[in-house]
Amino acid sequence: MIDYRVKNIGDFSPKVGELASMLEHTRAVTLEEIKDLSEKELDYLVEESSNSIGSLLLHIASIEFVHQVISFENRDINEAELKKWKSALVLGDDARKTINKNTINYYIDELSKVREKTLTRFKELNDDWLYEEKEWGNGVPYNNYFLWFHVFEDEISHRGQIRMIKRMLPKN
């Protein structure tokens, strides 16, 4: 059952727990949306240049992974990490060629593995960490709270795309 309350959901500091609650709610709704999709539906392309539902799901996992590296390790992803996640991060032609022929369980497992690390690391952090200010290479400031807001903002946006693609799936 999906919980429709923002509250501290575990052994987290107060604000980190609320953030975890929002991330988990967002994920629960996404999982409910995709749980019964077949491999054919996950690979379906509305048009030649579109992204599949499977690609979008792996993109959601990749965005969370990148934000883990940036916020937990204070660095950008390295070459090995980029090699693993690039298709999902960038989407487009490469994703259409390489992200396919996977079951729903594959995508759920990838999403779950990344999320498990997020929640484990969140337990080690306090609310002050959320407000730590940093700067992008171009001088634009950000904090960890915004980074993690963006993780579920991105997921919600792509879930909207997934819902549109589902409505366009061929009727069998």
* pLDDT band at 3; cut points 50, 70, 90: confident
Enumerate residues 6+ apart whose C-beta is below 8 A from 126: 13, 16
Q: What is the mean pLDDT of the chain?
A: 96
| Domain residue ranges in the chain | 14-168
C-beta neighbour count of 151 within 10 angstroms: 25
Query: Pairing relation of β-strands 133-135 and 141-143?
Result: antiparallel
Q: Residue type at 79?
A: E
- Please give the share of the chain, as a percent, with pLDDT higher than 70: 99
Question: What are 75-127's pLDDT values in tens digits?
Answer: 999 999 999 999 999 999 999 999 999 999 999 999 999 999 999 999 999 99
146 with 133: CB under 8 angstroms?
A: no
pTM score over 0.85? yes
Question: What are 19-37's pLDDT values in tens digits?
Answer: 999 999 999 999 999 999 9
C-beta neighbour count of 76 within 10 angstroms: 11
42 with 53: CB under 8 angstroms?
A: yes
**CATH number of the structural domain 14-168:** 1.20.120.450
What integer is the mean pLDDT of 4-24?
93
pLDDT above 80 for 172: no
Enumerate residues 6+ apart whose C-beta is below 8 A from 26: 152, 155, 156, 159
- Please give the share of the chain, as a percent, with pLDDT higher than 90: 93
Q: Quickly list H helices, 10-126.
A: 14-34, 39-43, 53-73, 79-90, 93-98, 104-122
